Structure 1
Amino acid sequence: MKQIYAFEQKEDFDRYQGIIQRFSNKLKNYQKILEEQYALNDLPKGVIWTTPELATNAFSDIPIPAYTNKNLIYMSPDIAYWRKLFLQQLEGKQLPKVQYFYENYSEKELFIILAHELTHHSDLFLDGFEDDREDGIWFEEGMCFYLPRKLLLSEKEFDEITAVEMELVNTFNDKYGNHSIEAFGSSSYEGSLSSIMFDYWRSYLAVKHLVEVRAKNDLMSVFDQYRKWDQEGRKVSLVEYFELESFV
């Protein structure tokens, strides 16, 4: 993958050069794991490193400065911006543990977001970037967080982010949880940041439940069921197929 720098000012490149180099090296290692174990067969052409402003206003109108398409991953490495962005998710609610976590959001956690974007390119997922993806989106999004977190974080770090997102789901469920997880992204990035992220939190927790409780940590058996759902013609929603209606 090419490393492409999209900055208006040389000062921006200079500011981010260190973290970009660290992330690029780590991404090569994660890429190798995906290629060897998780069917990463076709790589995107590159990673476009840019500022939050360009990511969310010039290259896209998505309010989160990390996303992927068939050919490119767009990523802002501005950790200070990410910390402020994630603190906005609280919507002014007093959640001291969550607030502390995001105030001290680490490079390691930020790298998980980049790894999430690369994970989308695994051929274990059934729907390509050009397909009309209308069902089962929650599974891919949740798995794209679960897999790099499980592989790259320590047990303590993994449990910490899980507890944070569980608290956020519990806090905002009455406000944003009135639709099925199958309607992932129904806000179409037009709602509040918390309403957008709610679907990601819930999808991650659903996938974690599937892998660790239902499948007793046999991750590939979950993918086997996912493929079976597709091969049988997707007669019911993926939530129904996995019998997760009460969970989500």
Structure 2
Amino acid sequence: MKQIYAFESIPDYENYKDEIDLLNKKLKTYKELLINQFELIELPKTIVWTSSKNATTVFSQVPVPAYTNRETIYMSPSVSEWKAFYLSLFDGEELENSDEIEYIKAYFQSLTIDDVFCILAHELTHHIELFPDEFGDERNNSIWFEEGMCEYLSQRMTLTEHRYTELRKIENLMIKLFKPKYGVFLLDDFGIGSYHQPSLASIMLNYWRSTAAVHYLIEDIYEGVSVSTNK
């Protein structure tokens, strides 16, 4: 995959360089895992590394600074930008302060390059051949299984057992917080139009619910997944 750096100045690029290098090293191992075990055949042509602001205002209007299409992955590599993204989920939400909210915020403040890599790995996972309708223009709804599986595989295959368990707890708490307000619909209704909702929390709720469903199907119904990983 070609690497394209879309920053506004050389100093801006230099601020991101170390994180990009670390993500690329991790991506090499994860790419081989997808090729060997999950039918990754046709890779995207390019990764465009850019800032969170450019990702969500220049290259797309989707308010999440990581996404992929058939040929390109767009990605903010910055740990600090992803911390800010997740903490912004609470902006404008009328939630009373609680120990649960403080716990969630502390978790997001603790994000590392490993957590950011999960997001990049999610985008690459979209390219495996196990999703027959990937990148189809007609996919206006019912994308929950693909999104949930991309989340599940990228998290389960790259995080330590402890970090994965902690993430499951955090996302279940987020579902508990936001589902009463934003989640009164079937998972099958999660589609492209879901990205046009005004609340960032309402958009991300689709991912948390989808991942929880896939986790349940694999680890509770199927009783686990067995793959070789490098953690």
Alignment partners' CA distance in 1, 2:205 and 2:15:
31
Give secondary structure in 2 for the equivalent of 1:152.
Answer: coil
Give secondary structure in 2 for the equivalent of 1:61.
Answer: coil
Runs of 4+ in 1 over 3 A off after TM superposition: 185-188
Q: Which moved more, 1:86-95 or 1:199-208?
A: 86-95
Give secondary structure in 1 for the equivalent of 2:223.
Answer: coil
2:153 is the counterpart of 1:147: yes
Alignment partners' CA distance in 2, 1:24 and 1:37:
20
- Within the candidate set 214, 218, 221, 1:214 is matched to 221
Alignment partners' CA distance in 1, 2:155 and 2:118:
7
Asked if the contact 2:175/2:209 (under 8 Å) is kept, the reply is yes
Asked if the contact 1:117/1:144 (under 8 Å) is kept, the reply is yes
2:195 matched residue in structure 1: 188
Alignment partners' CA distance in 1, 2:35 and 2:51:
29
2:175 matched residue in structure 1: 169
Map Cα deviations across residues 145-176 of structure 1 (whole Å, 9 max, x no partner): 10011111111000011000000001111101
How many residues are matched? 220
Q: What's the TM-score, normalizing by structure 1? A: 0.85
Q: How far has the Cα of 1:130 moved from its partner?
A: 3.1
Give secondary structure in 1 for the equivalent of 2:57.
Answer: helix
Give secondary structure in 2 for the equivalent of 1:89.
Answer: helix
Q: How far has the Cα of 1:189 moved from its partner?
A: 2.5
2:3 matched residue in structure 1: 3
Q: Which sections of structure 2, spanning at least 5 residues, go unmatched?
A: none
2:213 is the counterpart of 1:201: no
Higher relative contact order (CA 8 A, sep 6+): 2
- Alpha carbon RMSD of aligned pairs, Å? 1.5
Alignment partners' CA distance in 2, 1:26 and 1:92:
38
Q: Which moved more, 1:82-91 or 1:40-49?
A: 82-91
Alignment partners' CA distance in 1, 2:162 and 2:178:
25
- Mapping of residues 50-89 of structure 1, within 5 Å: 50-89=50-89
- Mapping of residues 38-53 of structure 1, within 5 Å: 38-53=38-53
Q: How far has the Cα of 1:52 moved from its partner?
A: 1.2
Asked if the contact 2:126/2:134 (under 8 Å) is kept, the reply is no
Asked if the contact 2:83/2:111 (under 8 Å) is kept, the reply is yes
Asked if the contact 1:138/1:182 (under 8 Å) is kept, the reply is yes
- Mapping of residues 220-231 of structure 1, within 5 Å: none
Q: How far has the Cα of 1:135 moved from its partner?
A: 4.5
Residue 77 of structure 2 aligns with an amino acid whose one-letter code is P
Residue 12 of structure 1 aligns with an amino acid whose one-letter code is D
Residue identity over aligned pairs, in percent, reads 41
Q: What's the TM-score, normalizing by structure 2? A: 0.91
Alignment partners' CA distance in 1, 2:51 and 2:225:
39
2:136 is the counterpart of 1:130: yes
Q: Which sections of structure 1, spanning at least 5 residues, go unmatched?
A: 221-248
Give secondary structure in 2 for the equivalent of 1:133.
Answer: coil
Asked if the contact 2:62/2:195 (under 8 Å) is kept, the reply is no
Alignment partners' CA distance in 2, 1:196 and 1:83:
17
Alignment partners' CA distance in 2, 1:219 and 1:206:
18
